Chain A
Amino acid sequence: SQQGEEDPQALSIQEGENATMNCSYKTSINNLQWYRQNSGRGLVHLILIRSNEREKHSGRLRVTLDTSKKSSSLLITASRAADTASYFCATEENFGNEKLTFGTGTRLTIIP
């Protein structure tokens, strides 16, 4: 698979449920970031986890990182209709090489 593959590609859940999205990557990374994109709009930074971190929380978001498996997961708890968006992981490969390599994204739909 390519750098930054998310699964599932699409996810529909009921409001209030938890949503989990996964991301896999291929190279060594400095950090991994998650972004949200509402339809046709810009990218909003959600959370960053460094390569020496295993878990991070921010509000209703929980991110894990397993560098041995080159994978990350994003958990959104108690989902809301406003969480409907596409979610992308993006990796920054080496310190100083600051370009972001984005994944294919997960389209999350929250059903009210």
Chain B
Amino acid sequence: EPEVTQTPSHQVTQMGQEVILRCVPISNHLYFYWYRQILGQKVEFLVSFYNNEISEKSEIFDDQFSVERPDGSNFTLKIRSTKLEDSAMYFCASRKQGINEQFFGPGTRLTVL
């Protein structure tokens, strides 16, 4: 069964460094999302992406964040200058047109030191 994949599974970085989190959505899906979950807290929406542009973003998704679909398969989240409070589990999700169910990847645990 097709699934969303994410790399790396765990990323450790120094504060102020740039990180790129990678996702490969399910191949026939058209809508893509990033969420994050700070340890012990709720899963929070970051951004949705459709037709090569951002369709919605949350207050969390400030100028330090960007998303890109550089080719036909990858979907990336870049954090330009990481802060300690960016430490969280980051989940990518995708869904098909006309279907509400979102399929989530296994997540990338980002640790900012």
Find residues 20-63 in chain B having any chain A CB closer than 8 Å to their own CB.
Answer: 31, 33, 35, 42-45, 48, 55-56, 58
Contacting B106 at CB < 8 Å: which of A4, A41, A97?
A41
Interface string of A77-93 (1 = CB under 8 A from B): 00000000000101010
Interface size on B, residues (CB 8 A): 24
**Residue B101 is within 8 A (CB to CB) of chain A in the complex:** yes
Q: How far, in angstroms, from A2 to B53 measured CA to CA in the complex?
A: 30
Where chain A touches its partner, the secondary structure class is strand
Q: Please give, as numbers and ranges, the residues of chain A lying within 8 Å of B35 by CB-CB distance.
A: 100, 102
Please state if A105 and B95 are interface contacts (CB–CB under 8 Å). Answer: no
Bound complex: CA A97 to CA B45 (Å): 12
B98 to chain A, nearest CB (A): 11
Query: Which residues does chain B contribute within 8 Å of A92, judged by CB atoms?
Result: 100
> Are B102 and A100 interface neighbours, CB within 8 A?
yes
Consensus secondary structure, chain B interface: strand
The answer on a CB contact under 8 Å between A48 and B43 is no
Given contacts A42-B91, A92-B100, contact A102 B42 (CB under 8 A): yes
Write the nearest CB–CB distance from B75 to chain A, whole angstroms. 15
From B41, which residue of chain A is reached at the shortest CB distance?
A104
User: Is there an interface contact between B43 and A102, defined as CB atoms closer than 8 Å?
Assistant: yes
Please state if B101 and A33 are interface contacts (CB–CB under 8 Å): yes
